[in-house]
């Protein structure tokens, strides 16, 4: 039985709670936040108690696993603390800001023989799963160009996103989804060039990244955590291959959970007049990523999100930051 301490009980924790409740061998045994009032309410929803720290949650509730949902700048502290206490660790994205920080987290988990997985949830996004299958099965042929976008207004539920040391801005907070997705398919790119807009608080919140792989694939990824006007949360992924073009577009409300979601996934095969609409099987992506984590522990197998990929993605984002700051192409 996995006795999980949820560390952080804000926006994303709600998705984790719903997902964890659906996994039979998991109990949410503790909620840890810095605020006893909001933490207490969430703990009540989960049928457990609020704790001020992990040591007390382990001593009183027998916690053996943590699910880290606090602001990114706090991830390293909690991952290392949990690993040293002998707990398995699931951690929200972006795992951290630098490869050095990630290495310290991995070392603490390996030294203490606990499992560690980063929640790169976009890999379980239903349409993204289907698109990867099309690529892996060679249905697109040789890929000419990829365009990927993820744009939203600035979060209104927190202030920490404005602090580059806590969120890393849109470059880390949002861009990591798309860089990780491309990395999971094509591996490490050979070069990166990024252009963007930096907010008055020092966050690179609107970034366009151009990536090239040695296999010839090229991608342009646009990310914004600070769209102006009433811009809706929107995602696009378009892949142009010599056998056809695959195109996905989603438009939600202010945020992903708001309003009606209009989405479509269309396949434009070469030689056909009309596109074909593709229905991707709709799954709860947060449930799917957490099932992967617990199943890997139970079966003592590696998770499908590897440390090599997590570290490589951080290398790409660190290279994008260098490119933004120095206006240069960075070779990886
Ligand atoms: N996978 C996704 O799609 C996705 C979406 C949103 C956020 N996230 C990630 O999840 C993490 C949390 O983001 P959020 O939007 O839920 O933030 P949030 O501000 O809504 O919630 C943060 C929570 O952490 C708690 N907290 C803050 N400081 C703490 C401390 N020192 N000790 C213990 N608890 C503390 C707060 O009380 C709050 O409960 C970030 O890393 C973010 O990038 C992922």
pLDDT tens digits for 169-222?
999 999 999 999 999 999 999 999 999 999 999 999 999 999 999 999 999 999
| Distance from Cα 215 to the centre of ligand 1, integer Å | 37
The whole-number pLDDT of residue 255 equals 77
Residues with CB under 6 A from ligand 1: 7-13, 32-35, 69-72, 74, 92-93, 119, 121, 157-158, 173
Measured CA to CA, the distance from residue 324 to residue 235 in angstroms comes to 23
CA–CA dist 189, 55 (Å, integer): 41
In the chain, where does the domain assigned CATH 3.30.360.10 lie?
Answer: 122-285+315-331
What is the mean pLDDT of the segment spanning 296-310?
A: 97
Which among 196, 205, 2 is positioned nearest to 90, based on CA atoms? 2
Pocket probe for ligand 1: among 43, 71, 254, the residue whose CB has the most ligand atoms within 8 Å is: 71
Q: Where is 119: in which H helix or E strand?
A: strand 116-119
> CATH 3.40.50.720 spans which residues of the chain?
2-119
Q: Which atom of ligand 1 is nearest to the CA of 173?
A: 43
Q: What percentage of the chain carries pLDDT values higher than 70?
A: 98
Q: Is 249 helix (H, G, I), strand (E, B) or coil?
A: strand
Question: Which residue's C-alpha comes closest to atom 23 of ligand 1?
Answer: 8
pLDDT 10s digits, 37-64: 999 999 999 999 999 999 999 999 999 9
Look at 35 and 14; give whichever has higher pLDDT. Answer: 14
Centre of ligand 1 from the C-alpha of residue 119, in Å = 13
- For the stretch 121-177, pLDDT in tens is 999 999 999 999 999 999 999 999 999 999 999 999 889 999 999 999 999 999 999
At residue 278, does pLDDT exceed 80? yes
The stretch 223-249 carries a mean pLDDT of: 96
What's the length of the chain? 332
How far is Cα 145 from Cα 261, in angstroms, rounded to an integer? Answer: 26
Q: Which atom of ligand 1 is nearest to the CA of 167?
A: 43
Give me the pLDDT at residue 256, please. 73
Q: How far is the CA of 279 from the centre of ligand 1 (A)?
A: 32
Q: Which of 92, 95, 152, 167 to mutate to test the pocket of ligand 1 (most atoms within 8 A of CB)?
A: 92
pLDDT at 253: 82
| Among the four given CATH numbers 3.40.50.720, 3.65.10.10, 3.30.2090.10, 1.10.10.10, the one describing domain 2-119 | 3.40.50.720
Distance from C-alpha of 9 to C-alpha of 164, rounded to nearest angstrom? 21
**Terminal-to-terminal C-alpha distance of the chain:** 42
Atom from ligand 1 closest to the CA of residue 72: 41
Beta bridge partners of 2: 26
Q: What is the pLDDT of residue 252?
A: 85
Residue 257 has pLDDT above 80, yes or no: no
Pocket test for ligand 1, best of 5, 7, 9, 10 (most atoms within 8 A of CB): 10
- Lowest-confidence pick of 24-33, 204-213, 257-266, 318-327: 257-266
Is the per-residue pLDDT at 261 higher than 70?
Answer: no
What atom of ligand 1 comes closest to residue 75's alpha carbon? 41
What is the distance in A from the centroid of ligand 1 to the CA of 168?
A: 13
The architecture that CATH gives domain 122-285+315-331 is: 2-Layer Sandwich (3.30)
Q: How many angstroms separate the alpha carbon of residue 71 from the centre of ligand 1? A: 4
Phi and psi at 64, nearest 5°, equal -125, 0
DSSP designation for 261: P
pLDDT for position 54: 96
Q: 67 - beta bridge partners?
A: 6, 90
| Contact assessment for residue 215 and residue 186, using Cβ atoms and an 8 Å cutoff | yes
| CA nearest ligand 1 atom 25, residue | 8
pLDDT at position 238 over 70: yes
């Amino acid at each position: 039985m996995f006795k999980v301490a949820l560390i952080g009980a804000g926006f994303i924790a709600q998705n984790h709670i719903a997902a964890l409740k659906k996994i039979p061998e998991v109990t949410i045994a503790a909620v840890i936040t810095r605020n006893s009032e909001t933490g207490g309410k969430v703990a009540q929803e989960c049928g457990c108690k609020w704790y001020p720290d992990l040591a007390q949650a382990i001593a009183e509730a027998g916690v053996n696993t943590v699910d880290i949902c606090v602001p990114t700048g706090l991830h390293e502290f909690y991952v290392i603390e949990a690993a040293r206490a002998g707990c398995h660790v699931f951690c929200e994205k972006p795992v951290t800001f630098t490869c050095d920080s990630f290495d310290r987290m991995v070392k603490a988990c390996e030294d203490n023989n606990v499992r560690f997985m980063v929640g790169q949830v976009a890999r379980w996004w239903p349409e993204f799963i289907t698109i990867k299958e099309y690529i892996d099965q060679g249905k697109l042929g040789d890929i000419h160009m990829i365009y990927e976008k993820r744009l939203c207004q600035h979060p209104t539920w927190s202030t920490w996103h404005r602090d580059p040391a806590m969120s890393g801005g849109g470059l880390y907070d949002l861009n990591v989804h798309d860089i990780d997705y491309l990395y999971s398919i094509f591996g490490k790119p050979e070069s990166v060039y990024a252009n963007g807009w930096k907010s008055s608080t020092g966050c690179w919140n609107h970034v366009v990244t151009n990536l090239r792989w040695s296999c010839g694939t090229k991608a342009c990824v646009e990310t914004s955590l600070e769209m102006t006007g009433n811009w809706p949360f929107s995602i696009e992924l378009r892949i142009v291959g010599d056998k056809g073009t695959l195109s996905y577009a989603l438009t939600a409300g202010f945020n992903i959970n708001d309003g009606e979601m209009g989405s479509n996934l269309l396949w434009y095969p070469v030689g056909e007049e009309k596109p074909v609409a593709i229905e991707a099987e709709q799954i709860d992506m947060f449930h799917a990523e957490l099932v992967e984590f617990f199943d890997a522990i139970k079966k003592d197998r590696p998770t499908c999100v590897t440390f090599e990929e997590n570290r490589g993605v951080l290398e790409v984002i660190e290279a994008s930051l260098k490119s933004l700051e120095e206006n240069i192409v960075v070779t990886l």
